[in-house]
Structure 1
Amino acid sequence: MEPSGPGSATNRRNFLSLVGLSAAATVGSGLLAGCGGEAASTSDAQDLDKLADLLPRQKDLPGLPKPDMVGTRPVPDGYTRFPAELFDAVGEKPGRSGQRINGMTPAWGPAPPSLGQSQYLAAVNDELGIDVNFSVQDGLKYAEKLNALLGARDVPDLLCVPQWEVAKLPRFADAVAALFEDLTDYLSGDRVDAYPMLATFPAGAWREAFWNERLMSIPNPTDGPFPWALFGRKDLLDAAGLAYPKTMEELFEVGRQVTDPNKGVWAFDDIFSMVQMFYKVPGTDDGWRLKSDGTPEFKYETPEFKQAVEFMAKVYQAGLVHPDLVASKGEDAKQLLQSGKILFKQDGPGMWQPMQAEQQKVTPGFNLQPVPVFSASGGDPLVWGDDKPISYTFVKKGLGKERVEELLRVINWCSAPFGTAEFNLREYGVEGKHHTRSAAGPAKTELGFKEIANQYFFVSGRSPVIQPFPQTPTYVRDYLAYSNEMVKFLEKDPWNGLKLEMPARYKAGLVPTEDKITDILRGRRPLTDLDAVIQEWRGSGGGDEAREFRAKALADAGR
């Protein structure tokens, strides 16, 4: 799948710093009014361990190829080559009613051609036996579209909700109960046998698909736990005789050495999330951890966060960030990295392969590599990450049993794993049109890149693997070497196994507070304002309320 070109599902992480509801979208009417007025609760905690009996029973699909490299969980296994033969995993067409399915999914980049104008949609829909009509929305504005849809109680048959958007949607659990089908009696236990592709999903993904103690969605399992990596143009750094930094001092010094405004070159885009990670700022659920006395503490309140703010403000003040990015002019930071106008970029790991594949054709020797995470204070680093799904697919409530089963059969087909003919069609389209195939595997054509935008991927999921790409033969080994090393330092989540619907006021306060901190980082407000911003977050921003809620959730779970 490729939200912005060929790449892995982890591309979803590319947009975590770019998307979110505005303050106006999360306060007042919004979801609350749309779901029937005052909701029963503004926050809720589910103990997922108590729902184990409702999980779909996981079963392997016979005939799949064995992986070439093993990932340290939650890092998936990897394949360095495509199987010579593909097999059909679904014996019959899942669509039988002839009634068109409407779905909404995100895309990053140009919108793909719609139904009736896309050979890709026509080919997949022919295999499904039914037309799926996609409303493909701009991924950068997807949260706003979701808020409008849910507030108006006007949802399509299948709705994709990215995991990272859920935290921004007020009273989402109430919206789920009001608008979407309860799938527990369709999928729990051995009932999932009717949908064998869904049965291959890891149990950890299904655990996160519960709302209100019922199985309310189909998860799209993540293919990597890491939200961020710091990527560098290693080819340009090598040419300048510079090594990747291993300390904060080296990071600043390398940035200073490569920045040359006279040549139109700067060191960085906004790397604040990575700077926080280097300083060991907590990252669990946006930034929570437990103090030594067991009290929940948010990142804003930690000395590590203040250190990260001071360092990042110093980077901005020194003019090491590209000025168009400082001014938020909408400059494409990926293009700046590709053209050598910046040498380091913070992004999701999913950026790696597609950019390398495309740019090595444009720039001989182009070499994009991640900087290994280090600790600003010495010792082992802290790496943010989790194994939560990429997204969730919800089924519109009230469609009737036969229609729900048809939709689940379609989702099941779309969820076929690597090594199947269904996976190949979903990912690469029709051979000779959307891709060419050699002994090394499929390679997309121009039409493939134009028409395929993860439409079917975002209404399904698949058992995750790191798949090979002929254009970048060392990618899988490089990715797994990096990931298997970084996963050793994955942050521990004290609330693991608890699903928390955070208080509405806290949700509404996140983006406005982040905006104020961004103003401080970029010099639009003085650094001395940080304490006042944090105090405001604790009160009107719902921070203290959120802390009490998290403490109670742990106590109620007996932890």
Structure 2
Amino acid sequence: MRTTDSTGRSAGRGRRRTVAAVGAASAVAMLAACGGGAGTGGGGDEVTSYGLSAEDTPNYVPVELVEPDFPGVDGSAPGFTSMPDPLATAFDSPPGSGGSYTAMTPLWGTIPPTDGNAYFDSVNEAIGTTIKFQISDGNTYGDKMAAVLASPRDVADWTTIPGWNVPPRFNDAVGTIFADLTPHLAGDAVEDFPYLANLPTEAWQACSWNGKIYGLPMPVEVGLTDYALYRPDLVGDQELPTNPDEVIDFAVANTGDGQWGTNDLWATAAAMFNLLPSQPGWKVGDDGALVHRVETPEYRAALEWMAELYSSGAVHPDAVADNQADAGTRFESGQVVLTSTGIGYWHEALTRNRPANPSFDIGVLPLVSAEGDPVIYKPRGAAMCSFLKQTDDEDQIRELLEVANFLAAPFGTEEYQLINYGVEGVHYDLDANGVPAATTQAQREVQPTYMFLVGPPAVNAKPDLPDYVERRSAWSAENAKYVTEPLFYGMNIAEPNQYASIGQPFSDLEKDIARGRASIDDLDAAIETWRSSGGDELREFYTEIYEAQEGTQESSDS
């Protein structure tokens, strides 16, 4: 281990808590429940699905190099309003062994040059390993990924797969294409890589398949990921809504004179009405049977609320026309006061607009619930996972894990600064407050690449926006107490192929009901069609998994 830091080596040592749907389900029990062997079961349509066992879950050994201004609460990201000075040094020498490897990653932006790129050259020198990137357009990355995996010989040495781009039947392919990292990372083995051991348990669960660790995570913050942002600079001292009806009243009150109250608010409606996440979308009903989200009263209530919102006339005409691509433009230009989007958009929009308009501001609505306390369903622990190509060369696997350990160095280290900003004096200069300011060379060369291979724990660190850091930290900490794990949390369950598209009609129906093209009565017919088209069979599939977990939990408690 090549690190000068020892602050996290003895703190918090111990076995991680393994989170599975309703108990600590063992891989053996899950395997038996699905009727198959490792990888797939039956004739290929039945699949084996289970989470990590306690023994195979990497130990969690937290590292805190820099004290945050706003500590995280129950998984919310810690907030930092300034850059540490001096930065901590995580490595006293490059961890790599001089190897050269390819890496395939997505990018939602301009693809930088791979040759003669001072950013790539500097990072490769610092890690002691050459990573040659194969960068693809993030908007079409799923199609690219499916084509590459169909021809395993074309797979890069290191491949990133976003959670929303996991190909069908990936549970079958993962064990034949990618390396099983369990022997290197399970239990206390991960402590050979202290900054990987600093990653939260939920992140490892999101990157496990068939009871084994295959992926290296890009962790996300625990908490609400999508909600309603608003423009405080446009609404002045108006009172903010405290219930769903008041959200509509707020939107209506800010409609007129070329301004509309809102863009589409479906993600916000889902949060306000405590709607289950779409994947896998099950809960235990009052009678003990599994109920799907589309069958719940929460789903119906959210649709009814959306129809009322649209009928109020407060939704921008382009949003009514389902033009979501320009939703950010409408919001930032002041055409709309409310928009429903990922919370990460908050600081991005501030960064874009504050230089030219210092009074430009964004806030997030207080979390409200239609009934009782809000419920925030815990998101997957990693936005992306990266995978190492299967090889008999164990030295290659170890070298890439050493590199991953470097890339996971947390905020406050020189290594984090290099990965995120490049080289001082080349890619950024420090302003009067010690905040990196990108140069024109950085705009050409520095793009998210290494950080899509593996990342440190999520932080709220925007020293150039201290007011944002304070407000977001407070909002996230306040809402952390409402976080709960949905059924089957921490498990990658690959559903049989024949059920892949039965839920698609609901996506269209949600839009049609909101816009008045269909009525809420059409929901009943859609549910019956879903049940007869495979929904009830899918219920049986998940019931077997659920009952196996229940049985495993009872055995472990006895």
Aligned-residue identity in percent: 32
Distance 1:330 1:371, change over 3 A: closer
Aligned to 2:409, the other structure's residue is in SS state: coil
| Displacement of 1:439 | 5.6
Letter in 1 for 2:535: G
How far the C-alpha of 1:338 sits from its partner, in A, is 0.8
Per-residue CA deviation, residues 283-338 of structure 1 (Å, 9 max, x unaligned), is 37353222112221112111221121122123234443222233244642112111
- Distance in 1 (alpha carbons) for counterparts of 2:488 and 2:265: 27
Partner of 1:258: 254
User: What amino acid maps onto 2:248 in structure 1?
Assistant: F
Query: Are the equivalent residues in 1 in contact too, given 2:40–2:46 (CA < 8 A)?
Result: no
The range that moved more, 510-519 or 296-305, is 510-519
Alignment-derived partner of residue 32 in structure 1? none
Structure 1 match to 2:220: 222
- The separation in 2 between residues aligned to 1:256 and 1:433, in whole angstroms, is 49
CA pair 124-440 structure 1, distance change in 2 beyond 3 A: same
- Counterparts in 2 of 1:328 and 1:117: CA distance versus 1, 3 Å: farther
Inter-partner Cα distance in structure 2 for 1:493 and 1:214: 22
> Is the alpha carbon distance of 1:89 and 1:383 closer, same or farther for their aligned partners in structure 2, counting shifts above 3 Å?
same
User: Residues of 2 paired with 1:515 and 1:114: CA distance?
Assistant: 40
* Residue 463 of structure 1, CA deviation: 2.8
Q: Distance in 1 between matches of 2:57 and 2:414?
A: 28
Once the two structures are TM-superposed, the CA of residue 370 in structure 1 deviates from its matched residue by: 0.6
**Displacement of 1:444:** 3.1
Which residue of 2 is the match for residue 46 of structure 1? 50
How far apart are the structure 2 equivalents of 1:526 and 1:117? 59
The 8 Å contact of residues 170 and 508 in structure 1, kept in 2 or not, is answered as no
Q: Name the aligned partner's letter for residue 236 of structure 1.
A: L
1:399–1:429 distance in 2 versus 1, CA, 3 Å: farther
**Gapped runs of 5+ residues in structure 1?**
1-34
Amino acid at match of 1:120: Y
Q: Which amino acid aligns with 1:102?
A: T
Deviation of 1:152 (Å): 3.5
Check if 1:158 corresponds to 2:154: no
Q: Is the 8 A contact 1:521 1:527 kept in 2?
A: no
The reply on whether 1:323 has 2:317 as its aligned counterpart is yes
Match of residue 182 from structure 2: 184
AA partner of residue 83 (structure 1):
P
Distance 1:349 1:437, change over 3 A: same
Q: Is the alpha carbon distance of 1:320 and 1:151 closer, same or farther for their aligned partners in structure 2, counting shifts above 3 Å?
A: farther
What RMSD, in angstroms, separates the aligned Cα atoms of the two structures? Answer: 2.6
Q: 1:60 to 1:252 in 2, by over 3 A?
A: closer
Could you tell me how far apart the structure 1 residues matched to 2:383 and 2:346 are?
18
| Residue type at the aligned position of 1:243 | E
> Per-residue displacement from partner, 1:221-240 (whole Å, max 9, x unpaired)?
213432212100111011xx
**Residues 41, 48 of structure 2: 8 Å contact kept:** no
CA deviations on 1:318-377 (whole Å, 9 max, x unpaired) are 443222233244642112111001111111111112222331222232120110111223
Which residue of structure 2 lines up, in the alignment, with residue 172 of structure 1? 170
Name the CA shift for 1:521/1:193 in 2 (closer, same or farther; >3 Å).
same
CA distance in 2, matches of 1:329, 1:358: 22
2:538 maps to what in 1? 546
- Structure 1 position 128 matched with structure 2 position 132: no
- CA spacing shift, 1:190–1:248, aligned 2, 3 Å: closer
Q: Contact between 1:284 and 1:384, CA under 8 Å: does it hold in 2?
A: no
Say which of 437, 443, 446 aligns to 2:436: 443
TM-score (norm 2): 0.84
Q: Match for 2:454 among 455, 460, 463?
A: 460
Counterpart Cα distance in 2 of 1:37 and 1:294: 27
Which runs of 5 or more structure 2 residues have no equivalent in the other structure? 1-38, 554-558
Residue of structure 2 equivalent to 1:106 = 106
In 2, distance between residues paired with 1:275 and 1:59? 38
Counterpart for residue 35 of structure 2? none
- Asked if 2 retains the 8 angstrom alpha-carbon contact of 1:105 and 1:137, the reply is yes
CA distance in 2, matches of 1:511, 1:91: 52
Matched length? 511
Equivalent positions of 1:130-529 (< 5 A) are 130-153=129-152, 154-166=154-166, 169-238=167-236, 242-260=238-256, 263=258, 265-283=259-277, 285=279, 287-329=281-323, 331-377=325-371, 379-386=372-379, 388-398=381-391, 400-438=393-431, 440-447=433-440, 448-467=442-461, 469-496=462-489, 498-529=491-522
Dislocated runs of 4+, deviation >6 Å: 35-39
CA distance in 2, matches of 1:527, 1:511: 17
Describe the SS at the equivalent of 1:134.
strand
